[in-house]
Amino acid sequence: MFALPRIYSGTFMPILLTHAAQLLTLRAPNAGEGPRRGAQMRELGIVEDGAVLIANGKIAAVGATDDVARQLPPERAGLQEIDCRGKVVLPGFVDSHTHPAFTAPRLVDFEKRIAGASYEEVAEAGGGIRSSLRGVREASTADLAQHVLHALRQMSVQGTTTVEAKSGYGLSLEAEIKSLEAIREASRQWRGTLVATLLGAHVVPPEYRGNPDEYVRLLCEELIPQVAERELATYVDVFCERGAFRPEHTQLIFRAAAGHKLGIRAHVCQLTAANLVPLLPFHPASLDHMDFVRDDDLPLLAASNTVATLLPAANYFLGLSTFPPARRLIDSGVAVALATDYNPGTAPTPSMPFVLSAACTQMKMLPAEAITAATYNGARALQLQHRKGSLQVGKDADLAIFDVEDYRELAYWFGVNRCSRTIAMGRSL
């Protein structure tokens, strides 16, 4: 039996969720600590008539309602009970790839693409990432933080409790640091968990056009050391792509990041195929997009703990007819995560449920695979699997409650928000 006085002694009132039609624990007893692959991605650890006890921001008990209730004393004063009859309860979504540090939508780009221009053509004509720089460079840290916070709130009403947030629209020493400060400021005003990433290598800024080597030197020798020193980011990301940074630049930036004990991730194979062999020895936490991943790289990825993070909202918004090859990756044993890619150029959506829908309808992922990709494997992509991504005793109490009876409905309904409550670190968001 739980010693309730001890549980109740925490800062926040304990919460007992009961009678969930389906509690998706994401426990996979045989899967270990690694990212979920292949058939493991279909194991949701479902408990019918499920309950979760939350105390001090952590999960204190999980199981069938009767079993959890039996562990509690009959006197439950001070315990907030939430009846989850007819609902699905699951770990809060981990949105492991977002770009929220921008100030304005890119509506001219949007109309140009509708008229037939491609993402790269729009960028070459003066739109694209570079056209977001001015707003960010001119914004105050407080203003930028408000934009980030607004996005975080929109994410959490749809069930997201952990967000990776990148800089990348400042592209100068000052504006990248300001973006990371804004991300940190926003995270202080939000109950979910935020992981900051330096994306100074998003594109070469106009000041360094024609001299990308010099910009890469600035990143490696000045920006990365300063960011590390001030603990402004956990990861360094690179847009490794035609029109952005070459693989040799990516390696230099990875080496600098590793030298400063920062984690590594990259945007790769979004528009063109890249050889992943030179990048994998750096053990990137994730490689993201992966639309054009080469067959030869699949066994190497499958043998690594690098997660392939797929971002189908970008394909949807760019009006593409092809989507990341989820089936080929999963069936090859590669660990797959899903994220929104929230950004003004290719994916202006905060919605993980929309991403689940796109993953199932366009990429032929099963709903169970999509849920694993959006929770456990998202946590793995941020190397937070010890705290996030499944409902297990001792983990952070991050949960989403959906007003549906069957987990498949999470990916089935779209254009409507069925999330009725989000709990982060044991408190309602």
Q: Please, what is the minimum distance in Å from the beta carbon of residue 85 to ligand NIG? A: 40
Cβ 310 to ligand NIG shortest distance, Å: 11
Burial of 166 (0-12, 13-18, 19+ CB in 10 A): buried
Exactly one of 181, 341, 369, 398 binds Fe ion (CB under 5 A); that residue is: 341
Choose the one of Fe ion, ligand NIG, none that binds residue 345, judging by a C-beta under 5 to 8 angstroms depending on kind.
ligand NIG
The three-state secondary structure class of 419 is: strand
Beta bridge partner(s), residue 289 = 268
Compute the distance between CA of residue 86 and CA of residue 90 in angstroms, rounded to an integer.
13
Beta bridge partners of 80: 15
Nearest Cα to 346, choosing from 270, 240, 284? 270
**Which lies closer to Fe ion via its Cβ, residue 18 or residue 270?**
270
Q: What minimum distance in Å lies between the beta carbon of 238 and Fe ion?
A: 11
DSSP character for 33?
T
Q: Which 3-state string (H, E, C) describes 60-110? A: EEEEEHHHHHHCCCCCCCCCEEEECCCCEEEECEEEEEECCCCCCCCHHHH
Residue with tokens 């006197």: 75
E-assigned strand segments in 181-332: 193-201, 235-240, 263-268, 286-289, 307-310
* Region of residue 182 (phi > 0: left; psi between -120 and 50: alpha; otherwise: beta): alpha
Looking at beta carbons, which residue is closest to Fe ion? Answer: 341
When asked if residue 297 is in the footprint of Fe ion (CB under 5 A), the reply is: no
Q: Is residue 113 within 8 Å of 319, Cβ to Cβ?
A: yes
Stretch that binds Fe ion, among 22-30, 73-81, 319-327, 341-349 (CB under 5 A): 341-349
Residue among 176 and 341 whose Cβ is closer to Fe ion: 341
Of 50 and 263, the one with the shorter C-beta distance to ligand NIG is 263
CB of 237 to Fe ion, least distance (A): 8
- Give the separation between CA 25 and CA 2, rounded to whole angstroms: 21
Residue 344 interacting partner from ligand NIG, Fe ion, none (CB closer than 5 to 8 Å by kind): ligand NIG
Quick one: 36 or 267, whose CB is closer to ligand NIG? Answer: 267
| Residue 203, amino acid | V
Q: Taking CB positions, which residue lies at the least distance from ligand NIG?
A: 345
Pick what 96 binds: Fe ion, ligand NIG, none; C-beta below 5 to 8 Å, kind-dependent: none
Supply the minimum distance, in Å, between the C-beta of residue 394 and ligand NIG: 34
Q: Least Å distance between CB 128 and Fe ion?
A: 13
Token couple for 426 = 């044991």
Selection from ligand NIG, Fe ion, none that 129 binds (CB < 5 to 8 A by kind) is ligand NIG
**Least Å distance between CB 171 and ligand NIG?**
11
Residues that bind ligand NIG (CB under 6 A): 99, 128-129, 132, 239, 267, 270, 314, 341, 343-346
370 binds, among Fe ion, ligand NIG, none (CB under 5 to 8 A by kind): none
* Residue 314 interacting entry, from ligand NIG, Fe ion, none, C-beta within 5 to 8 Å by type: ligand NIG
- Output the smallest distance, CB 188 to ligand NIG, in A: 25
Give the phi and the psi of residue 264 in degrees, each rounded to 5: -130, 140
Which pair of structure tokens corresponds to residue 415?
A: 């254009």
**Region from 177-185, 212-220, 337-345, 377-385 binding Fe ion, contact rule CB under 5 A:** 337-345
**Interaction site with Fe ion (CB under 5 A):** 341
